[in-house]
Structure 1
Amino acid sequence: MKALAVVVMAATALAMTSPVPAGHFGPGAEAGAGGPPAAGDTGGRPPSGPCALPGATDNVSETARTPPGYARSSGTVRAVTFLIDFPDSPATTTPQARYAEFFPAVADYYRASSYGRLDYRSTPVLRWIRMSRPYAAYGIERGTPFDAESDDGYHAIAAEILDAVDDTVDFRRYDLINVLVTPGAGPPATEDVRSVTFAGSPTGLTTADGAPFKNVSFIWSRQTGDSPFRVLNHENAHSFGLPDLYYTGRGAALLKTPVGHWDPMDEDWGPSNDFLAWHKWKLGWLAPAQVRCLDGPGVRSFALTPTSVPGGLKLAVVPVSRHTVITLEARTPGPLDHAVCRSGVLVTAITTTMSTGSGPVRTADATPGSKGCYTTDLNVNAALSDAPYTAGQRYTGPPGMTVDVLGEDDEGDWQVRVRTVRPRASDGARD
């Protein structure tokens, strides 16, 4: 969520934890176990080719390839989920009820968004783990880091969790760690969002099995909207290597979100929304044939199948420099896209060298100055809700690039024509 304090520590060369052997389900029943992708499926590959741009490699970023140390994001991914409360804020519901706020919904969402290429399985430890001190004694605020030298904060909480479960949980079997905090601890999400992920590098804690305690998400309070579980989808996506798309720096509260409700890494509150096609490619959810790289001059026409529909061409990428691309995708209302009120072709500019929280992705607005078409929920950047380009509209990008949206065909695909008059910039070009 918005309070990603120390989103990611520098990635290390450590390999991910080993998978669980078939038939082993750890300390509790798994949620979200699903079938494998269809036979012959060619997704699950990291992006490659001239449109798979390099960039930042020591943190979450829009760089096509995620560095070592983060969790894998396709195939079977296993999480272990703990629940904690505090002596001055004891849980008022059962661990089963708190867990059910997120599962199987989180797994179902990932399965749908990835077109079955991410089989997310969560194993819960269904008991409240009571912390030793009152909530305030840990000094948890928005922006609190994971300080391995500290006797309070997230380091102290994590150490107490390990002390409670380390003799029964084999952490080598899991890719992700989730900590669901009793909602009464700390302010409500409408006042201060504190959910946070520490991903990439070990946190300084090592389990009894020798596994590093990392890729861990802490979920506080309860979120608003028709799919409040998505705060965990957002946090886990940091462990998969995705950055925050909203602004986090000084004065960020006064700035509009740069992407809007077109990706949960920007707005993961309010109505449901799906991931950008670029993120789906980065996470290994698109097969090579579903991505078209327009890395040379010419005029190309093709049809984009909406994100909400499995199969078809999902993403067109136009490189404009070594670290910047323009992307095209079709967005329509769907099971995960509840706020789409104007169907069409979404155009985004993506920079792979910009850090998390600094606006690495920006949505091009086909209706500048408009108040938007989805204006009933303050959690949605209304001005960008009607950003897609529709039939007859033209996007004019960097010099020599135009995109003409020809319209929606009888199959529901969006026909576009892209014109570029110069090749991709050389490696020495500046963004």
Structure 2
Amino acid sequence: MKTLAIVVMAVTTLAMTSPVPAGRGGPDRGAGAQGGPPALADTGARPPSGPCALPGATDNVSETALTPPGYAPSSGVVRAITFLIDFPDAPAKVTPQERYAEFFPAVADYYRTSSYGRLDYRSTPVLRWIRMSRPYPAYGIERGTPFDASSDDGYAALSAEILDAVDDTVDFRRYDLINVLVTPDAGPPATEDVRSVTFAGTPTGLTTAEGTSFMNVSFIWSRQTGDSPFRVLNHENAHSFGLPDLYYTGRGSALLKTPVGHWDPMDEDWGPSEDFLAWHKWKLGWLAPAQVRCLDRPGDRSFALTPTSVPGGLKLAVLPVSRHTAITLEARAPGPLDHVVCRPGVLVTAVTTTMYTGSGPVRVADATPGSRGCYTSDLNVNAALSDAPYAAGQTYTGPGVTVDVLGATDGGDWRVRVRTVRPRASAGGRG
């Protein structure tokens, strides 16, 4: 029986268009995941739990707090096997080592930094060009081409040839992820057509010699622009970890196409670097319970959020407004991965766990609606959202909640006062 994998495309900035060419140490500080008084420090990260770990869609890539089975592990030691392929009509013009060096060790370093050392990404390369048997056009690869295991073309054909070349020397049971780096001369440049893709979460229908499924596989085409072009692989691997695309592929204004902008690489991963949203860090298992405050009861609370860019501290506050929707608070400031934070402050987002990848499951609340933004020098960045964080003296008002941003401490944390007037509505059983 033919089995189709869930497909997630790396379509970025301006959504369906192409890109424009071009520590704090010590124990974690914060409040317990169940709300109420501060909990004892807990430095051990773990999967989300408690009433703010919202349930949602599990049959596709979504923002559901607990990632369903089938995806690659996203914390601890994660092992990837990385192949390089070229074509008779598009032979590689660089060595395998040079192409591999475009992504590693940068990808592993990025994940180590973003996860605060909780994801130890290890890539094993097969450092030779694996020549495909047919010219590139013969495979019929386009944006959106599915993985059809019954087809003699497309990604199934490419994958079958890779397996034929390596299956007697590679034990796929040792690896969590599969990366395929294509020679950048095959197909159109990324500035014209984005084709990088991941098949994640479900079997593709192709199996290895050991009987394991050929799945959680990312194909990287062409080269991206910007100061950290390796992040296309960060984006694609994050699909294998269970994260959805945050850009919006439906009809609407250009602003709606990038509802999160440059605040997470699952929306815009072109141009300058940026870190993951705190909700994603929690979903991926990178935050300890003491780093998440769940505000699921009415009342007034005051606390300080430590910026995403530094280790330790309270990273995320979650205010559930329904069984599948929450408002989240986090602090963002310039840091090793947040290269273009030009307006530090408290970033407010709305997360919906029943919306699938590419449908805009996360929306950033813009503290300065109508402004042209504070980072306007790179057309790959949604400038209008670059000044989205709430600064000192500003107030966010949402469903049943008011958030006052009180200002930054001398240590760089952001103090907030949160007033909730009612518990989340229609919650049903707490997930």
The normalised TM-score by structure 2 is: 0.90
| AA matched with 1:179 | V
Between 1:38-47 and 1:325-334, the stretch displaced more is 38-47
Could you tell me how far 1:251 is from its partner in structure 2?
6.4
Aligned to 1:106: 107
Q: Is the 8 A contact 1:44 1:75 kept in 2?
A: no
| AA matched with 1:401 | V
Is the partner of 1:318 in helix, strand or coil? strand
Distance 1:267 1:240 in 2: 18
Residue 415 (str. 1) matches residue 418 (str. 2): no
Could you tell me how far 1:204 is from its partner in structure 2?
0.7
Q: Deviations over 1:176-206 (max 9, x none)?
A: 0000000000111110010000011111111
Aligned to 1:136: 137
For 1:90-169, what aligned pairs fall within 5 Å after superposition? 90-169=91-170
Aligned to 2:297: 296
For 1:195-344, what aligned pairs fall within 5 Å after superposition? 195-249=196-250, 255-344=256-345
| AA matched with 1:161 | I
Q: Deviations over 1:142-198 (max 9, x none)?
A: 000001111000000000000000000000000000000000001111100100000
Aligned to 1:425: 425
Q: Is the 8 A contact 1:342 1:373 kept in 2?
A: yes
Distance 2:182 2:291 in 1: 39
Distance 2:42 2:183 in 1: 40
Aligned to 2:16: none
Q: Is the 8 A contact 1:5 1:196 kept in 2?
A: no
Q: Deviations over 1:104-130 (max 9, x none)?
A: 000000000000000000000000000
Is the partner of 1:261 in helix, strand or coil? helix
Q: Deviations over 1:298-336 (max 9, x none)?
A: 000000000001000000000000000000000001110
Distance 1:137 1:251 in 2: 35
- Looking at both structures, which has the greater relative contact order when contacts are Cα pairs under 8 Å and sequence separation is at least 6? 2
| AA matched with 1:382 | A
Distance 2:48 2:253 in 1: 31
Could you tell me how far 1:42 is from its partner in structure 2?
4.0
Aligned to 1:33: none
Could you tell me how far 1:367 is from its partner in structure 2?
0.2
| AA matched with 1:6 | V
Residue 347 (str. 1) matches residue 352 (str. 2): no
* CA 1:251–1:84: 2 relative to 1, 3 Å: farther
Contiguous gaps of at least 5 residues in structure 1: 9-36
Q: Is the 8 A contact 1:199 1:215 kept in 2?
A: yes
| AA matched with 1:422 | R
Could you tell me how far 1:38 is from its partner in structure 2?
9.8
Q: Is the 8 A contact 2:45 2:289 kept in 1?
A: no
Q: Is the 8 A contact 1:43 1:284 kept in 2?
A: no
Is the partner of 1:292 in helix, strand or coil? strand
Distance 2:6 2:372 in 1: 32
Aligned to 1:26: none
Could you tell me how far 1:255 is from its partner in structure 2?
4.3
Could you tell me how far 1:59 is from its partner in structure 2?
1.4
Distance 2:265 2:80 in 1: 20
Distance 1:296 1:262 in 2: 28
Q: Is the 8 A contact 1:43 1:117 kept in 2?
A: no
For 1:189-200, what aligned pairs fall within 5 Å after superposition? 189-200=190-201
* CA 1:208–1:127: 2 relative to 1, 3 Å: same
Aligned to 2:405: 405
Distance 1:179 1:406 in 2: 47
Q: Is the 8 A contact 2:27 2:312 kept in 1?
A: no
Contiguous gaps of at least 5 residues in structure 2: 10-25, 29-40
| AA matched with 2:404 | D
Is the partner of 1:119 in helix, strand or coil? strand
- State percent identity of aligned pairs: 87
Distance 2:66 2:6 in 1: 23
Q: Deviations over 1:77-113 (max 9, x none)?
A: 0000000000000000000000000000000000000
Could you tell me how far 1:7 is from its partner in structure 2?
2.2
Could you tell me how far 1:256 is from its partner in structure 2?
3.5
| AA matched with 2:127 | L
| AA matched with 1:135 | Y
Distance 2:255 2:419 in 1: 37
| AA matched with 2:94 | T
Aligned to 1:384: 385
Q: How many residues align?
A: 397
Is the partner of 1:347 in helix, strand or coil? strand
Could you tell me how far 1:426 is from its partner in structure 2?
2.8
Aligned to 2:62: 61
| AA matched with 2:62 | S
* CA 1:387–1:250: 2 relative to 1, 3 Å: closer
What is the root-mean-square deviation of aligned Cα atoms in Å? 1.9
Distance 1:122 1:356 in 2: 26
Q: Is the 8 A contact 2:6 2:60 kept in 1?
A: no
The normalised TM-score by structure 1 is: 0.90
